[in-house]
Amino acid sequence: MNISVNGKAETVASGSTVRSVLASKELDPALVSVEHNGKILDKSELDGTFLSEGDEVEILFFMGGGRG
């Protein structure tokens, strides 16, 4: 099945969840926020959000920094 992750086309298995996409990229869900089809997901929704053909997933990384 074809989806978009951060604007790039990717193929995932049928029945994939948002959490499985994060796992495939070796990303810790505690360190990112995820938007699925325009909706920011709560961490508790990652396992139960199943992906469908054409879905859009944005993985947002937090970066520290600023003036020191």
pLDDT for 68 beyond 70: no
CATH code for the domain of 22: 3.10.20.30
> Rounded to an integer, what distance in angstroms lies between the CA atom of residue 32 and that of residue 62?
6
DSSP 31: G
Q: Which domain holds residue 15?
A: 2-61
Q: Among 14, 17, 6, 21, which Cα is nearest to 53's?
A: 14
What band does 63 get if pLDDT is binned at 50, 70 and 90?
Answer: confident
Do 13 and 65 contact (CB within 8 A), yes or no?
no
Report the SS3 class of residue 20: helix
What band does 66 get if pLDDT is binned at 50, 70 and 90?
Answer: low
pLDDT tens-place string over residues 17-60: 999 999 999 999 999 999 999 999 999 999 999 999 999 999 99
Contacts of 26 (CB under 8 A, 6+ apart): none
pLDDT for 11 beyond 80: yes
Is residue 66 a part of any domain in this protein?
Answer: no
- Split into its structural domains, the chain has a count of 1
